[in-house]
Amino acid sequence: MDTACLDYRLTEEERLGFEQNGFLVVENVLPPEMVKDLTVLVDRLDAQYRPVMGLGPHEVLELIDFVGKDDLFLELLDWPKTFAKVWEILGWHIQLYTSHMNVTPPVAHNERRVNKRLEWHQDSGRLNVDLGGNPRPRISLKVGYFLTDTTEVGRGNFYAIPGTHLQNELDLPADGVSDPEEVVAIQAEAGSALFFDRRLWHAASPNHSDITRKVLFYGYSYRWLKPRDNMTVDHVMHRCSPIRQQLLGAPTTPASPWGNRGGDTGSGFTSPNEEAVPLRAWIKAHLGDEAVVP
């Protein structure tokens, strides 16, 4: 893994902001040329899958499990300017459990005056039903890479309510239309990254602009959580570093088949070996024993 990531570790200000608000925006994590190349890929996949999924020109396309569709997407798995912040929040025992590419075209002109409440939710719906506690445990976070500028409100912005990752329920205005007063529109430049706790109450919004919003979401969780996606990545495993293989759910022992994702044999879930979690060994080698929790 690129040691440059050590230059972009989570600052104390970022840590406090994430813990308090449930999200964090970091600017300029992707260079313009990479944004351009990723946009070309997204446009190609949009053109390929939009008709297959029966979507019209104004409908949102959400393509799940895109990360194995091009090697450039693999680069973002452990991107130097973001990945250290991921493992400093979640720890080393992590995997990619979902990836989804969101393309939000402008809504039809006759729908631009529709006033209705945003669809507020927390991620991992069933998990929120099964788990107890208030607040429930974090378990996962997502990193969203913005390929289009959303610094203006009305461009399909991601909306969030700061601090709501620490509450299981959300109080909504009684009128059935209004959103809570505390809402914040994420106004991110192209090339920025949004980190957010899965428990954060958030919502997508309509795109009333004349540009198409494009975002790539990478969801990281602990390795004992079953991935949301099919993780169609066997064909790229041989080209990946050990840490990327860990993130993609590679086998934890030489005898394990590629399809045995996310688990260790025997007592591995409680005490994974170094071979199973090379990220732990990498952190330990570069930052010392105190940087890793047993």
- One-letter amino acid for residue 261 of the chain: R
Mean pLDDT for the stretch of residues 254-276: 49
Task: Kindly state whether residue 235 falls inside one of the protein's structural domains.
Answer: yes
Task: Kindly state whether residue 203 falls inside one of the protein's structural domains.
Answer: yes
Name, in order, each residue with C-beta under 8 angstroms of 103's C-beta and a sequence gap of 6 or more: 42, 46, 60, 61, 62, 63, 212, 213, 214
Task: Kindly state whether residue 91 falls inside one of the protein's structural domains.
Answer: yes
Domain span at residue 94 reads: 3-239
pLDDT tens for each residue of 96-147: 999 999 999 999 876 666 678 999 999 988 888 898 889 999 999 999 999 9
Average the pLDDT over each of 27-31, 83-87, 116-120, 290-294 and give the range with the smallest value: 290-294
CATH code of the domain containing 178: 2.60.120.620
Task: Kindly state whether residue 189 falls inside one of the protein's structural domains.
Answer: yes
Task: Kindly state whether residue 86 falls inside one of the protein's structural domains.
Answer: yes
pLDDT tens for each residue of 153-207: 999 999 999 999 999 999 999 999 999 999 999 999 999 999 999 999 999 999 9
Tell me, what's the pLDDT at 90? 97
| Residues 246 and 278 sit within 8 Å (Cβ to Cβ) | yes
Tell me, what's the pLDDT at 113? 63
Task: Kindly state whether residue 37 falls inside one of the protein's structural domains.
Answer: yes
294 DSSP 8-state letter: -
pLDDT bucket at 272, cuts 50 / 70 / 90? low
Task: Kindly state whether residue 255 falls inside one of the protein's structural domains.
Answer: no
CA–CA distance, 132 with 282 (Å, rounded to integer): 34
Tell me, what's the pLDDT at 128? 85
Q: How many structural domains compose the chain?
A: 1
CA–CA distance, 86 with 214 (Å, rounded to integer): 22
Task: Kindly state whether residue 247 falls inside one of the protein's structural domains.
Answer: no
| Residue 4 CB neighbour total at 10 angstroms | 11
